[in-house]
Amino acid sequence: MKARLIASVVLAASVVLGTSACNLVAPQATTNIYDPSDGVSGRTGDLKIRNAMIIVDETGTDGNLVAAVTNGDDAQSLSIQFGEGEDGTVTASIPARSTVSFGTLEEDPILLEGIDADPGSLVEVFFQYGNETGVKILVPVLNGELEEYSDLVPESASR
């Protein structure tokens, strides 16, 4: 009688472990970091760049950099470089313990003049501050055809 009871317990435990233990070795999908929108992300030091994308005008000459930057404990001056030379560098202040959104309807746009990029292409944008090692991100280029981006087309398109 004892042998049957032990065998039943062992069999029940084997069935329970066999049907539920696959999660012990399978990777959890919730731990995968991904970009849920059209933009891309990166990090340099304490600054986290999230959902970066460029919305271009009809000619593709100028673009509006849309991104959110989250900062740590100290205020930083973020240098954003696109293209060649100093003409392609923009500086933005990021206060301590804050998130700053660029290029939205509420914030002034960061105009990337002369990028000459077609929708669907990627533009190299370099983010760096202080003595931290910067990060180069291939930022996707979109236009105002989608309704959610139509208000983000840079003003230069209307000149």
What is the rounded average pLDDT of the residues 112-119? 89
Whether residues 47 and 20 fall in one domain: no
CATH number assigned to the domain comprising residue 102: 2.60.40.3770
How sure is the predictor about 75, in pLDDT bands with cuts at 50, 70 and 90? very high
How sure is the predictor about 12, in pLDDT bands with cuts at 50, 70 and 90? confident
Q: Check residue 121 and give its pLDDT.
A: 94
Whether residues 19 and 72 fall in one domain: no
How sure is the predictor about 46, in pLDDT bands with cuts at 50, 70 and 90? very high
Q: Is the per-residue pLDDT at 146 higher than 50?
A: yes
Question: Which is more confidently placed, 8 or 125?
Answer: 125
Whether residues 53 and 120 fall in one domain: yes
Average pLDDT value over all residues in the chain: 85
130 in Cβ contact with 91 (< 8 Å) = no
Whether residues 63 and 137 fall in one domain: yes
For 27, the domain range is 2-31
Q: What is the DSSP string of the chain?
A: -HHHHHHHHHHHHHHHHHHHGGGGTSPPGGG-----SSSEEEEETTEEEEEEEEEE-TTSSSEEEEEEEE--SS-EEEEEEESSSGGGEEEEEE-TT-EEEESSSSS--EEETT----TT-EEEEEEEETTS--EEEEEEEE-TTSGGGGGGS-GGGG-
Task: Name the domain count of the chain.
Answer: 2
Whether residues 97 and 22 fall in one domain: no
| Percent of the chain clearing pLDDT 90 (strictly above) | 48
What is the rounded average pLDDT of the residues 42-60? 93
Tokens 């970091």 identify what position?
Answer: 33
